[in-house]
Chains A and B, each alone.
Chain A
Amino acid sequence: GIQVEQSPPDLILQEGANSTLRCNFSDSVNNLQWFHQNPWGQLINLFYIPSGTKQNGRLSATTVATERYSLLYISSSQTTDSGVYFCAVGRYYGGSQGNLIFGKGTKLSVKP
């Protein structure tokens, strides 16, 4: 099956710093999503981005499908950005609806 690797596993930042999170995947995919898991466990959708670049406020993401990686950029980090960031990929073929395969996540801690 598809393997998903995220790096770094842990990241500690001072408030205001920028960061880049990486997601590598082992095969072609139709779906790639970035999530933020808040301290209460809720997975918040950040981006649906199987290819290309998207931006939403201080967050942006880029997926280079041909090279099988995606990057999540966080600029001017805030303490509320703390939590675990997950990359998840999926592949749909024929009538299959597939499912998401998750990386192990990057745990981000933003210090005031």
Chain B
Amino acid sequence: DVKVTQSSRYLVKRTGEKVFLECVQDMDHENMFWYRQDPGLGLRLIYFSYDVKMKEKGDIPEGYSVSREKKERFSLILESASTNQTSMYLCASSTFGAGGPENEQFFGPGTRLTVL
């Protein structure tokens, strides 16, 4: 069965802290994605990765960085957390394909991050 896990369901951090959000998938997927979800704005792509050590900026990368040292793990890093980064963060993965069913994305349970 498809499985994407995220390190925390709920997280509370202080302004200025460095924050790591971890995502692990067990499906041997090449692609991994980080989205954030905010009321009224829907889900927006922060970063994605299509291979180990490869990364591409999404629509809202400012204030974030990512790391992919192993195929199954994709980390989102908030270098200096700010209150406007309070949000729901969702990780997803998919296989590397040519636009067919292999590109179906599967999501983790999400991390609700609060920055005080």
A97 touches B104 (CB 8 A): no
A97 touches B42 (CB 8 A): no
| Interface size of A as a range | 20 to 34
**Option from A86, A92, A100 in Cβ contact (under 8 Å) with B98:** A92
Q: Chain A nearest CB: distance from B57 CB in Å?
A: 11
A31 touches B110 (CB 8 A): no
A99 touches B33 (CB 8 A): yes
A17: interface (CB < 8 Å): no
A104 touches B42 (CB 8 A): yes
A86 touches B43 (CB 8 A): yes
A40 touches B109 (CB 8 A): yes
B52: interface (CB < 8 Å): no
Using a CB–CB cutoff of 8 Å, the interface residues on chain A facing chain B are: 30-31, 33, 35, 40-43, 45, 48, 86, 88, 90-92, 97-100, 102-105
